[in-house]
Structure 1
Amino acid sequence: MSPEKRSAVMARIKGRDTGPERAVAEALRARGWDFETHARDLPGRPDMLFREAGVAVFVDGDFWHGWRFPQWKDKLSEKWEAKIEANRRRDARNFRRLRRAGWRVVRIWEHQIGRDLLACIARIESLLPPCDGARIGSVTARG
Structure 2
Amino acid sequence: MSRSEMMSRIGSRDTKPEMLVRQGLHALGFRYRLHARDLPGSPDIVLPKYKSVILIHGCFWHAHMGCRNFRIPKSNTDFWKEKLARNTERDARQIKELEEAGWRVLVVWECATRDSSSGKLVDTISKWLHHEVRIIQVPDNQ
Q: Same fold (TM over 0.5)?
A: yes
Q: Which residue matches 2:6?
A: 9
Is 1:50 the counterpart of 2:47 in the alignment?
yes
Q: Which segments of 5 or more consecutive residues in structure 2 lack a partner in the other structure?
A: 132-142
Q: TM-score, normalised by structure 1?
A: 0.80
* Partner Cα separation in structure 2 for residue 101 and residue 7 of structure 1: 36
Deviations 1:14-72 (A, max 9, x none): 01111110111111111111100000000111110001210000011000001016984
Counterpart Cα distance in 1 of 2:101 and 2:93? 12
User: Equivalent residues in 2 for 1:81-96 (5 A)?
Assistant: 81-96=81-96
1:19-34 superposed matches below 5 A? 19-34=16-31
Q: CA deviation at 1:81?
A: 1.0
Largest Rg, 1 or 2: 1
Aligned to 1:137: none
Give the SS at the match of 2:56.
Answer: strand
Larger RCO (CA within 8 A; separation ≥ 6): 1
Structure 1: gaps of 5 or more residues: 131-143
2:15 aligned with 1:18: yes
Residue 62 (structure 2) pairs with residue 65 (structure 1): yes
The count of residues paired between Structure 1 and Structure 2 equals 127
- Give deviations 1:86-143, integer Å, cap 9, x for gaps: 110000000011111111000000001112423332332123349xxxxxxxxxxxxx
Name the % identity: 35
2:89 aligned counterpart, secondary structure: helix
